[in-house]
Structure 1
Amino acid sequence: MAVEELAAVTRSSLRLRLLRAMAEGTATDQTLHRELDAPRTTVRDNRRTLQRLGYVHDRGGQPHTLTPRGVALAAGIERLESELDVACRLEEFLDDVPFADLDLPLAALEDAEYVRPRPDAPAAPSNRASALLEAAESIEGVFPVLPKRVFADGSSGDIVLSETTANALDEARLADPSGPDVWRVDDTPPLGAALVDDDTLLFSTGPCGTLQSLVVSHDIDGWTQTFVDRWRERAERVEREKTA
């Protein structure tokens, strides 16, 4: 029944706009008519449909207010619109990773910076990631591939590298006592993710083991930390060289 009612609402863009308008404040037929620029009779008929479906209180007067289910639906529609906007903007990146299995908080990426290769700058994602990593004091990350440089001397934290990526690095560099702790994992992570000071980096990889696209955000620290922790639990720590 809920699916049928939802379909009755979503098949009309005006009903969606009515829900949003009523969720934002006091609403009468007159104010809704002006705000939505729709005929009064059309506004009234669609408002009555929402009342019949239980999304708007039917108390025989005005102003019109949403029922609890109406409030929930309006909030859900707003969240869905935000996630769809993000999915459209980041579509190439999301196509390159197993998005359905990652439970990425799309709405939190609304203000994220998205860096893709350009004809005049094919290495733009790798260059941007390298700049952030070289300046970082703290790094917690999972790296299926590496940009030009993954960490700076003196930085702290933990980095998890795929077996292939770790094998491509100099052993002395892996065990360098001045950098973050390094962990090696047999599997290849489905995407790169790192907490770099105040930024969070997400990146996909290309068919030749290159950094394909980069997302820089400030709003998914919790998700990224959980992702890094899960991969670190599966990894083996690379022993550092002992210093005199």
Structure 2
Amino acid sequence: MRILVFGGNSLLARAFTASAPSGAEVRIAGHAEIDAPELLDGVDVVVNFARHPDDMRLPYDPARDVDRRLAKRVSPLTARYVMLSSRKAYAASAQWDATEDSALCGQDVYGANKVASEAAIRRLLPADRLTVLRIGNVIGPERIPGRRSFMGFMLNTLADTGEIVFDMSPFVSRDFVTVEHVAAQLGRIVELGLTGTYNLSSGTGIMCGELALAVIRGHGKGQLRIIDPRHADAFRLDVSRLVRETGLRQTADEIISYCYNLGRALG
């Protein structure tokens, strides 16, 4: 099997590349190669990890849509395509226990862009060659300067200032999943040839404060400070469809232990 990993510099792409199916030939490409004539030569599966940074704040633009551009190139071939969408594609009212059939309209600008992108590639590719994965809140070893993700912000501020600062209630539950688990699920999806739409996360709601305190305990020092107690953006995905196919599931205890070890690594 020949797999093209597009956007190979991302944290998730690197994890997937390191755990790709046994015997697979993995090729990595980036934004600069999106129009290269030889990009898809001999490729069986394309997994796209790339997106345009403006997708987070600007309305949908098909010219900016990396998935649409890649899918258009894949369409005349026989290769399968895997799109990494987001749980934010679901409506705000459907964020808790969202199934793959829940209402789609986008929770915010980014979510609306993912909805539009999903629709665009469905028009370009047949269902038996397309996999769409709506992913939860991925966490990993994100001690990277300027990293704005949930875990990146926690690790950076704890290491730099000795505290983690929340602008929401620590009792807000969200569906977290480790980068390694997402990579393992992706590997099984590619290996099994799964197509269709799947939620990919742990399917477990964990209070954000519990994760922050696990990181602090692992680090051995620090404090959690709350500057706004609003109850914001609780969500949990129903992942039963994917679990039935792959047999892989991540527990809350595994995630909390993982966060403790991330804190230890800061030392």
More relative contact order, 1 or 2 (CA 8 Å, 6+ apart): 2
Q: Mark yes or no: TM-score above 0.5.
A: no
TM-score bucket (shorter structure)? under 0.3
TM-score, length-scaled by structure 2: 0.20
Higher strand fraction (1 or 2): 2
TM-score normalised by the chain length of structure 1: 0.22
